Amino acid sequence: MATRSVRTLDDAFRKMLDKETRPIPESFRRDSPIGPGPTFVPVKNYYSQEFFDLEVEKLWKRVWQMAAHEDDLPNIGDYLPYDIAGMSFLIVKSGEDEYKAYYNSCLHRGRKLREHRGKQADELRCPFHGWAWKLDGSIKQIPCEWDFPDLKREEQSLPEVKVGRWGRYIFINPDENCEPFEDFIGDLPSHFKLLPYENRYKEAHVAKIIRCNWKAANEAFMESYHVIATHPQILMGGAHDVDTKYDVFGNYSRAIRCGALDSAGMPQWDPLPEDGKMRLRNPLNGFVYVRIEEGLVEVTAPDGRTGRFDIQARHLEGDLTEVNPHLVSWAGGPLVEQTEFDKAIAEKAKKNEKKIHPRVLAAEIQRDALRNVVPSIADQVSDIEFTSIFFTLFPNFHPWGSFNRINYRFRPHGTNPNECIMECIYLAPIPENGEYEPCKEIHWLSADDDWTDAPELGMLAKVFNQDVRNLPLVQEGLKATAKEFVQLADYNETKPRHFQMLLEEWLSRE
């Protein structure tokens, strides 16, 4: 590891930036590594109800958290419940460019005021006995008010929680003594200058129940270390032991999947035959996975052994018995129609005679696509800005880089420490011609649904299937372990380490 240290990566990254032909945003030249140090996380933190309850008290009741997007509430009177760890808040568009967040509970006998998203209400009336509030939270009507002789109307406004806003996202904080939202997010917006989040709309929103603790899922999407084993098919130009630069800044962390280093000792493989069959190769060991039919995959090793496997990667026949379950899932799982972007990438990669780095190829295609939507900035965007850059704003919100659509949020499912909700939101640039239609609904998937049931996610659905295949097994493994702790890598797990450090700090606050 000595020869492929973090410094090697930083040097290679700087050299890569120096080669760019367009101006590089200042934020890319900022180095803010986390110090090395062993990080051990108690396994109980992922399933103990006591620890979960502590998180509710010390974290969820006090931290700024992403609760909604303006596209969820386009018109005055629109509202959206935001449920978190057994609590519920009602986000309401109460006026032109004005949003309020109320405890989602009636002041009479406590019924939840709203259970679903709703549109253009002119009042918030409780469906139990009909108490009603105006959108600004003041009491409007109490049926049989004479029967509450001691009630003071001025004390019957809906209790509010604080609202913060970043780039059309609406954050809330239930702690009335919390730090200002702007201090909490710090200079995160400075990483999004050319295409700020103010200029994006919600193109898709898919939510799915996952059978694991919210932190296990949250952390699984913070590092690219797992790409080596979980998504070998997307290794950039080879298998890198370190291909991602990580930095931390206050309450957020950043990963830039730059692929600046050449793979050390990566074997070279002949191109795969093109016979119309779905096939892919694991670049690490050369095994080739071929789809025979849905749920049935044949794998051939470089030494000629073959084996057939079901979709759970159980061996069915042949002398090859052990394969990568995620590649079986990719080859044998439901097919997803390729987007124009995926097709263009595949086409360009095939014709890539000059052996241009896949990152640069992908940048060219993305720049072309951007030119059709926001022509005024497309040619200012450097190649590095189109790569996978993923931020995590503590505790659970993951806005990807300037020109990537992905945003994730991970939150507990009710008060169950063994389940969470994963959401993938695509934010697309608002076209300069002003014509766009935001997605209308949140598309919910159950724990047993396949991500490909949400075709709006494109090929990413198949990537999620690989990630999410691990997660319930992580949850079960954490309970099965003989050890008391899990251990995080010094560098490649910078972001989970940063998250755990902040969490520990929050949970130890008075």
Give me the residues that bind Fe ion (CB under 5 A), please: 467
Contact pick of 13, 89, 103, 131 for ligand FES (by CB under 6 A): 131
Contact pick of 61, 108, 117, 315 for ligand FES (by CB under 6 A): 108
Contact pick of 22, 29, 109, 277 for ligand FES (by CB under 6 A): 109
Contact pick of 126, 158, 460, 503 for ligand FES (by CB under 6 A): 126
- Picked from Fe ion, ligand FES, none, the partner binding residue 126 (CB below 5 to 8 A depending on kind) is ligand FES
Phi and psi at 154, nearest 5°, equal -65, -15
Q: Nearer to ligand FES by C-beta: 106 or 374?
A: 106
Shortest distance in whole angstroms from residue 84 CB to ligand FES: 22
Of residues 236-265, those binding ligand FES (CB under 6 A): none
- Picked from ligand FES, Fe ion, none, the partner binding residue 389 (CB below 5 to 8 A depending on kind) is none
Please tell me whether residue 128 binds ligand FES under the rule CB under 6 A. yes
User: Whole-angstrom Cα distance, residue 245 to residue 254?
Assistant: 8
Please answer whether residues 296 and 332 qualify as being in contact, where contact means their C-beta atoms are separated by less than 8 angstroms.
Answer: yes
Cα distances from 323 to residues 144, 312, 450, in angstroms, run: 70, 11, 22
The count of chain residues that interact with ligand FES, using the rule CB under 6 A, is 9
- Picked from ligand FES, Fe ion, none, the partner binding residue 129 (CB below 5 to 8 A depending on kind) is ligand FES
Please answer whether residues 109 and 129 qualify as being in contact, where contact means their C-beta atoms are separated by less than 8 angstroms.
Answer: yes
Work out whether the CA dihedral 30, 255, 350, 375 comes out positive or negative.
Answer: negative
Contacts with 219 (C-beta within 8 Å, 6 or more apart), sequence order = 495, 496, 499
DSSP per-residue codes, 133-171: E-TTS-EEE-TTGGG-TT--GGG-SPPEEEEEEETTEEE
Q: Nearer to ligand FES by C-beta: 127 or 273?
A: 127
User: Whole-angstrom Cα distance, residue 260 to residue 6?
Assistant: 12
Stretch that binds ligand FES, among 61-69, 104-112, 370-378, 387-395 (CB under 6 A): 104-112
Please tell me whether residue 130 binds ligand FES under the rule CB under 6 A. yes
Q: Nearer to Fe ion by C-beta: 402 or 465?
A: 465
Of residues 213-232, those binding ligand FES (CB under 6 A): none
> Closest residue to Fe ion, Cβ-based?
467
Q: Nearer to Fe ion by C-beta: 220 or 439?
A: 220
- Picked from ligand FES, Fe ion, none, the partner binding residue 467 (CB below 5 to 8 A depending on kind) is Fe ion
Contacts with 442 (C-beta within 8 Å, 6 or more apart), sequence order = 72, 117, 205, 206, 207, 423
Shortest distance in whole angstroms from residue 104 CB to ligand FES: 12
User: Whole-angstrom Cα distance, residue 421 to residue 357?
Assistant: 36
Please tell me whether residue 86 binds ligand FES under the rule CB under 6 A. no
Tokens standing for residue 230: 């979980």
Is residue 254 within a helix (H) or strand (E), and if so which, with residue range?
strand 252-257
Please answer whether residues 333 and 462 qualify as being in contact, where contact means their C-beta atoms are separated by less than 8 angstroms.
Answer: yes
Instruction: Report which residue type is found at 125.
Output: R
Tokens standing for residue 446: 């159950």
- Picked from Fe ion, ligand FES, none, the partner binding residue 371 (CB below 5 to 8 A depending on kind) is none
Shortest distance in whole angstroms from residue 161 CB to ligand FES: 19
Please tell me whether residue 140 binds ligand FES under the rule CB under 6 A. no
Shortest distance in whole angstroms from residue 110 CB to ligand FES: 6
Any bridge partners for residue 298, and if so which?
Answer: 290, 308
Which residues are at the interface with ligand FES (CB under 6 A)?
106, 108-109, 111, 126, 128-131
